[in-house]
Structure 1
Amino acid sequence: MTLMGLVHTYQGLVIARVFLGVAECGFFPAAVYLLTIWYKRYEVMQRMAIFYAATSLSGAFSGLLAYSIQFMEGIAGRHGWQWIFILEGLIPVSLSAILYFILPDSPRTATFLSKHEKEFLVNRIALETGSGFGCVTNEDRPSFQQVKAAFKEWKIWAAVVCFWASSIGIYGFTATVPSIVQDLGYTSANAQLMTIPIYLFAVVCILVVAYLSERYRQRTPFIILGFSIASVGLIGMLVTRRYARIAGASYFFLFLVAAGFYSPFICIVCLIANNLAPSSKRAVGIALLISVGNGGGICGSNIFIATQAPTYTTGFGTCLGTCVCAIIMAYILRVAFKGENKKRDIFMEGKTITEVKAMFAEQELLDLGDKSPFFRYTL
């Protein structure tokens, strides 16, 4: 990131960008996975939301940062946009040296915990199967069988559709919202400042949705709700930008679009993280969801065509279509998970826990993970 502010050629910029991608690609999946081995399924989302809220906050601060850094134009012979890359790159480089020593890989390796505390944390997560019986392992080593199981899990691929709706919208929205706000009549500098309330509202929505999702122990209803709100905002933008041309209305609908794109994201990630076991399958599944899902950014970055400003019909229309697809897919996932839970309830009916355990070897039950008769899916 820092070097992107120092290079002077297109080739140098591409090389720096490639290495940025290589270094960055494992960060988000690893951070999400790390949280899942510390917190139970209905504890993790609020923590994950705090972590993810930084993404929306970065949108707010980037506007403020861009407004401030424009005054650095010409310092040391560099443009203001170069200083953005340099300053944003140096901060995480400095923090990384500290994090290496204070961020543990798992409860087992946390130096600030006693032996009793480590055992307590490991066991409370292992016993979290959704049914109150059986256990899952969070300390298994990756095996080809579990990697294969993750790639064959159709529910992950279904969730990718929901992820695409979010990533396409977020990437496109982030890239174009300053231009949209500027078109409402603000100067370039003030347009950057006017984007800040939009992102702050999105942060509040992320945290509220996370709280409600944990409280009611539901994921898919909030995914559907989020994309429904985004759809209303997108329809509003299509109408007001093409016909009404009412600046205040357009600005209002930007709040709905931001809230609708950002708030379902963690619900999607947690839905898959909650419903994959053992931990090796979960690790691969989360990486698969996020890596393929982030491919939507390629689309989102190219559908808001400059020549279509200020209506951006293709951009808003494509986002609206993906939101509808995500709503449908979230409903399908809910029906599928609910059906699987019902089948396992029927299988367990009339049997004691001891009788069910006697049908399987202990290791076999652990290897079954989310396919275990004791495991219940989060809806």
Structure 2
Amino acid sequence: MSLKDEEHIEVKHLEATAVSTGLSPEDLLFLRDFPQERRKAVLWKIDVRLVPLLALVYLFSFIDRANIGNANIEGLSEDLNLSDSEYNTCLAVFFIPYVLFEVPSNYILNRFKRPSRWMGSITMAWGVVMTMAGMVRNFTGLLIVRIFLGVTEAGFFPGAVLIVSKWYLPSETQTRIATFYSASALAGAFSGLLAAGIAEMDGIGGLEGWRWIFLLEGIMTVLIGVLCFFCLLDSPALSTSWLDPDEIRYLELRQQADPSRRSAQDTKNKGFDKDALISVVTDWQIYLQAVIYWSNTIPNNALKFTMPKIIQNMGFDTTRAQLLTVPPYFAGAFSAFGSALFADRFTWRMPFIAIPQLLVVIAYAVLFGLAGDIQNNIGACYFAVVLACIGLYPINPGGNAWTLNNLAGPTKRAMGIAYMVCLGNSGGVVGSYIYRDSESPKYPTGFGTSLGVVVAGFASCLVLDAVYKLINMRREKIDMDEIMDRYTQDELDRLGDRSPLFRYGL
């Protein structure tokens, strides 16, 4: 074959690809020929600017929602005269507005030209609320603060996942999500360290040590919110100070060339998209993903609120108990990041969710069996707490990346990831009630419920992977000519991930 014939074939191939992606042949040639070393360099530029800041904000997000557990063993319940049920209600009520406001927040964020403005505003807002928690005088005051904390924190995590999806391709998302999600594990570690140190301020200014925990950590969050306004990335087109024109063009074109970005037309400027919302609410995969999410949120939120007390039951004083919460969370952070690296490398999510779930099953089986005599089983029970964290923290980054990969179109993706996280975080309400002081130290309800929900999540993970494979196999068998005869290109775009041309990511 002559060189001229080869060039002719390449032009025809580019023209065909241009039709399927919506890009011009010139854009496709630019995308194809963009040097590999420059691709790595531009991703590194994004990584160092975006991921650390998201991790920092998420770190304080989790510190601010979970530090009530640290404050409690420093005397919060005694000083406010809280009963066990009142304390658990304050834990649970956070999740009601948190769940309700996730989808609206992501819808608003998706319409912002500068996401940094929205994310910075909500971060500052919950920092102010956290600061006010240090001034409450009774159950009602604490309850109101927890409600407003849920309202203001609701948008951050689904918003952060959405921002990651706008800068990275599906095969690159889990490592980045896991990196900033690892901050939630580190939050548990730093929360214990900060609480142990700040509680030493007891009596300064006439305030109890637990009040200083809320006050100082809230002020730090406000300052981080201000930082978001100036440092959080918005879009390649608005990043001319650190990206050159070719890098901006490459980042924009590779997003346009991704089939899942093009499928399902973007209605960003057409007002509220009722069809996208219906597509999200009726999408079977989101509900299986929510069960997987519950296998993290129910045991994890419960453990965050109760771990200091569980360790204190082993016979340690409050300061030692605060400090001993640190190693389990560090182990969870390393586990989340390591699992994500392998999941992105092999582009297969299921094993790197299911195996951690099995570790959690083992951990809670040990605790369920031995915690009744915890002071004679300190080593085994503490190891089980560490093992639980190792298993819990890879689940959510894997589930979020899996969901992102299988929702086509920017509007459905924005609503879908928020809706799935919304359903999943409703498990936090359950997690707030399953550990009862009257059952200490055995906690049969807490450990038993955690064990059962993780088994359900493990089953959902296997079912989801099997169904994705089955649907992909069926779609592979459909003749392309039959598809083109039956649908117009516009109809295929509107079908999104339900299109016979779409393949679910495993």
**TM-score range normalised by the length of the shorter chain:** over 0.9
Please give the alpha-carbon distance, in whole angstroms, between the structure 1 residues aligned to 2:473 and 2:410: 24
2:275 aligned partner, one-letter code: Q
- Cα deviation 1:131-158 (Å, max 9, x = unaligned): xxx9447954251111110011011011
Please give the alpha-carbon distance, in whole angstroms, between the structure 1 residues aligned to 2:248 and 2:434: 49
Deviates more, 1:160-169 or 1:178-187: 178-187
Please give the alpha-carbon distance, in whole angstroms, between the structure 1 residues aligned to 2:498 and 2:234: 26
Alignment of 1:57-136 (within 5 A): 57-112=186-241, 113-129=243-259, 135-136=262-263
* Match of residue 331 from structure 2: 201
* Match of residue 363 from structure 2: 233
State whether structure 2 residue 148 is matched by structure 1 residue 3.
no
Instruction: Name which of 351, 370, 376 aligns with 1:221.
Output: 351
1:240 aligned partner, one-letter code: L
**1:260 aligns to what SS in structure 2?**
helix
* Match of residue 414 from structure 2: 283
* Match of residue 505 from structure 2: 378
Alignment of 1:359-370 (within 5 A): 360-370=487-497
* Match of residue 180 from structure 1: 310
TM-superposed deviation, 1:357: 5.5
- Cα deviation 1:160-182 (Å, max 9, x = unaligned): 11111210111111111111212
**2:478 aligns to what SS in structure 1?**
helix
**1:29 aligns to what SS in structure 2?**
helix
2:421 aligned partner, one-letter code: I
Please give the alpha-carbon distance, in whole angstroms, between the structure 2 residues aligned to 1:219 and 1:372: 22
Instruction: Name which of 424, 430, 434 aligns with 1:293.
Output: 424
1:56 aligned partner, one-letter code: A
Going from structure 1 to structure 2, the CA distance change for 1:9 and 1:176 (only over 3 Å counts) comes to closer
- Cα deviation 1:43-97 (Å, max 9, x = unaligned): 1111111111110000000111111011110111111111111111111211222
Please give the alpha-carbon distance, in whole angstroms, between the structure 2 residues aligned to 1:122 and 1:137: 18
TM-superposed deviation, 1:373: 3.0
Larger radius of gyration: 2
Please give the alpha-carbon distance, in whole angstroms, between the structure 1 residues aligned to 2:433 and 2:240: 46
TM-score of the superposition, structure 2-length normalised? 0.70
Moved segments of 4+, more than 6 Å: none
Please give the alpha-carbon distance, in whole angstroms, between the structure 2 residues aligned to 1:191 and 1:15: 29
Instruction: Name which of 147, 158, 162 aligns with 1:18.
Output: 147
State whether structure 2 residue 299 is matched by structure 1 residue 166.
no
Going from structure 1 to structure 2, the CA distance change for 1:325 and 1:106 (only over 3 Å counts) comes to same
* Match of residue 321 from structure 1: 452
Percent of residue pairs identical: 35
Please give the alpha-carbon distance, in whole angstroms, between the structure 2 residues aligned to 1:376 and 1:119: 27
* Match of residue 269 from structure 1: 400
TM-superposed deviation, 1:344: 1.6
Gaps of 5+ in 1: none
TM-superposed deviation, 1:118: 2.9
Please give the alpha-carbon distance, in whole angstroms, between the structure 2 residues aligned to 1:9 and 1:111: 51
**2:167 aligns to what SS in structure 1?**
coil
Please give the alpha-carbon distance, in whole angstroms, between the structure 2 residues aligned to 1:163 and 1:114: 39
- Cα deviation 1:3-31 (Å, max 9, x = unaligned): 11123343333332222221111111111
Native 8 Å contact 1:69 1:80 kept in 2: yes
TM-superposed deviation, 1:376: 1.4
Please give the alpha-carbon distance, in whole angstroms, between the structure 2 residues aligned to 1:65 and 1:110: 36
Please give the alpha-carbon distance, in whole angstroms, between the structure 2 residues aligned to 1:79 and 1:366: 59
Please give the alpha-carbon distance, in whole angstroms, between the structure 2 residues aligned to 1:218 and 1:54: 23
* Match of residue 182 from structure 2: 53
**2:258 aligns to what SS in structure 1?**
coil
Native 8 Å contact 1:226 1:261 kept in 2: yes
Please give the alpha-carbon distance, in whole angstroms, between the structure 2 residues aligned to 1:159 and 1:76: 48
Native 8 Å contact 1:37 1:138 kept in 2: no
Please give the alpha-carbon distance, in whole angstroms, between the structure 2 residues aligned to 1:73 and 1:27: 32
Native 8 Å contact 2:175 2:337 kept in 1: yes
TM-score of the superposition, structure 1-length normalised? 0.92
TM-superposed deviation, 1:250: 0.9
Q: How many residues align?
A: 372
Going from structure 1 to structure 2, the CA distance change for 1:11 and 1:181 (only over 3 Å counts) comes to closer
* Match of residue 439 from structure 2: 308
Gaps of 5+ in 2: 1-129
- Cα deviation 1:107-141 (Å, max 9, x = unaligned): 344344344433321221233348xxx94479542
- Cα deviation 1:176-219 (Å, max 9, x = unaligned): 11112122222111111111111100111001110111111111
**2:186 aligns to what SS in structure 1?**
helix
Deviates more, 1:183-192 or 1:24-33: 183-192
Native 8 Å contact 1:34 1:106 kept in 2: no
Please give the alpha-carbon distance, in whole angstroms, between the structure 2 residues aligned to 1:340 and 1:125: 25
- Cα deviation 1:257-305 (Å, max 9, x = unaligned): 1111222111111111110011111111111111121111111111011
Going from structure 1 to structure 2, the CA distance change for 1:114 and 1:148 (only over 3 Å counts) comes to farther
Native 8 Å contact 1:165 1:322 kept in 2: yes
Native 8 Å contact 2:296 2:393 kept in 1: yes
Please give the alpha-carbon distance, in whole angstroms, between the structure 2 residues aligned to 1:70 and 1:79: 8
Native 8 Å contact 1:136 1:369 kept in 2: yes
